[in-house]
Structure 1
């Protein structure tokens, strides 16, 4: 079927997996795993998305190692996590949906104080997350983390996942290796673009070798860090071509931004600075109120706001691509299809209304009522939700 006539609401293949449509729930950390294990609340979160019509829902974030979490409450992939993950995948499958596990290592984005373990990065640097100096990953660390991605993908297969999404974005560890601003190494993992891309390519290869075609293998991949001196679109286009030529990925989900230095470059829309500050004790609260605008910058929202950048990748690559960013209307979905994208990913619109896809299919609604106020972002500390439509979670229910 040509891109001009592709219907986003018809079934489609994602690698070896048939999806009921081309609409994916993007990974948004759910804040529902206080003991780093699946809870009933997490299962219900994803069951509702599947019942609402999305083809694939993404569980975020499944760290491949304990120190690779952004904080100690996140799931990390180990045998103890498998039974709960199996219950989650069973619940999604019962609703006719498919489910992906986002696998990654937070690297310099990890909160070392919370994890009680040093954060790893390509090079030593002061982390604005924990205000501690990160450890430069050794080659032994690198080999361990590559192997951990493969082992985690195998656990995902055991737990019944249909896909894994490798986190190559947002200045998490692999993205940090790609960034010339963060990677100051002089060994085979630093310096030239080929060296900085080595970890991403080796990780994708290790995962593909482990799972073969049992499940789909995707990567969430930064087009642009949005940081001066960081990984930008020209280097990104080259690495994307290498990843496509390697043949280890079934699709790329294109993203932007840095969780370390410029997170709003991805999200766009309003900046809920006051609400973010309220999540922290003093004196951090005051500090966020005073200087938070330097970190949480304002970028205007518009539909399909990453389309222009992503279209350059579409022209380059013979690889399925997933368009993310401002997918909140039927018009944005149709525009993505018309530009040759294979899938779209949405997040905030499905936080507002998990039933949105069914309602769009039935022509009950064409535009999500989500206002892009971004007040959902600070709720990650108590259970990610839309504050306009969903009450705060009962802490006893998430435990």
Structure 2
């Protein structure tokens, strides 16, 4: 086994948290939390991933509050699901893995039919594209007081997550969700201290990071997922992302996960490979949304052919610019890919679809220096997030 594979499969730490290797399960919303409660399927899914040898698995989309969910089937951090979360965490930890939770907020787009507010709120007034069929066509703009309260909402959720037993938290700064909407000039049209320059647009993100850090303490691991590019002409570009990463590094983040694309504007930049569109049309139950997907889908779901380690050039710029840990994500599908990532100086690697295809990825990779994962990047798994049974690999 090469020195770089040895590095990947050796023990490591993030802010004092000991990990058995450097492979982390990426946050992927599995659609296994019926009515917002972690179900047996979700527990079994993450336990199986842990049994396969990953260092840490990430529970995707842990919303900071009830109105922070895109759908009412997503988790939000509340005492009523604490026992189920604690069971999930305990069962994963018994398999030797740690558990991170992806702390998120939908911001200005939601189709949550249990929405308690008048409309979703983000940095600026706009169209709530995913909520049209749910009777929520518009998104409102947060007032300064509401921004301050949302910062504290993140802090309260983080405190709850630490108390519940999560080993780490990954704050979601990317993919067009609530914090990202402030960072991106595409969605932030404010003219006050939270809009305009990149420094102003980062103000909310840095306030959230500071409040979460205060809530969990200096010795608790905080990761942050960022988008290195939005994939739209008036969005974040890689030069912006380098500065964003530096700001978060100075703000005290322990590790940055360098991703790209946006769920609502250019999702295929993140996924690569076969389009999500056909599967999403098949799964969509609302006829209005299904028609909308057919009409705008070809423009929204652009074609990006899959390539191994497809984000490495952009992520390398982040790696070179910051002192904190950097987690590589994007097309790491074999030991050869892992070697390339480790040789480039990355500290950890996150895997998503590869672990859905083969939960034993780590065990197989450790046993066979020539291991190559069999995922074809058909992306059908990702189209099943609203299926009654949740996501699964359709090729196995």
TM-score by length of 1: 0.93
How much does 1:4 deviate?
6.3
> Does the C-alpha gap of structure 1 residues 88 and 182 become closer, same or farther in structure 2, counting only changes over 3 Å?
same
Distance 2:14 2:109 in 1: 30
C-alpha contact (below 8 Å) 1:16/1:213 kept by paired residues: no
C-alpha contact (below 8 Å) 2:50/2:56 kept by paired residues: yes
| 1:116-164 deviation line (CA, Å, top 9, x unaligned) | 5421111000121113110101122211211111111111112211100
Partner of 1:369: 374
| 1:161-202 deviation line (CA, Å, top 9, x unaligned) | 110000000111110101111101111111111110001111
C-alpha contact (below 8 Å) 2:4/2:339 kept by paired residues: no
| Aligned positions of 1:48-59 closer than 5 A | 48-59=48-59
Partner of 1:17: 17
Whether 1:184 aligns to 2:185 is no
C-alpha contact (below 8 Å) 1:376/1:385 kept by paired residues: yes
How much does 1:359 deviate?
1.1
C-alpha contact (below 8 Å) 2:155/2:212 kept by paired residues: yes
Distance 1:108 1:367 in 2: 40
C-alpha contact (below 8 Å) 1:64/1:103 kept by paired residues: yes
Whether 1:79 aligns to 2:79 is yes
| 1:190-240 deviation line (CA, Å, top 9, x unaligned) | 111111000111111111111114531111011111111111111111121
> Does the C-alpha gap of structure 1 residues 272 and 42 become closer, same or farther in structure 2, counting only changes over 3 Å?
same
SS at match of 1:369: coil
Whether 1:262 aligns to 2:266 is yes
Distance 2:108 2:292 in 1: 21
C-alpha contact (below 8 Å) 1:359/1:365 kept by paired residues: no
SS at match of 2:129: coil
1:387 maps to which of 365, 373, 394: 394
C-alpha contact (below 8 Å) 1:125/1:134 kept by paired residues: yes
Partner of 1:149: 154
Partner of 2:254: 250
SS at match of 1:381: coil
1:227 maps to which of 232, 241, 261: 232
Distance 2:67 2:78 in 1: 13
How much does 1:105 deviate?
0.8
How much does 1:111 deviate?
2.0
| Aligned positions of 1:1-399 closer than 5 A | 7-113=7-113, 115=115, 117=117, 118-131=119-132, 132-246=137-251, 248-280=252-284, 281-363=286-368, 366-382=371-387, 383-389=390-396
Distance 1:72 1:102 in 2: 17
> Does the C-alpha gap of structure 1 residues 6 and 74 become closer, same or farther in structure 2, counting only changes over 3 Å?
same
Alignment RMSD = 1.5
Distance 2:276 2:211 in 1: 40
TM-score by length of 2: 0.94
Distance 1:79 1:197 in 2: 31
C-alpha contact (below 8 Å) 1:30/1:384 kept by paired residues: yes
> Which structure 1 segments of 5+ residues have no match?
390-399
SS at match of 1:224: coil
C-alpha contact (below 8 Å) 1:5/1:338 kept by paired residues: no
Instruction: Report how many residues are paired.
Output: 386
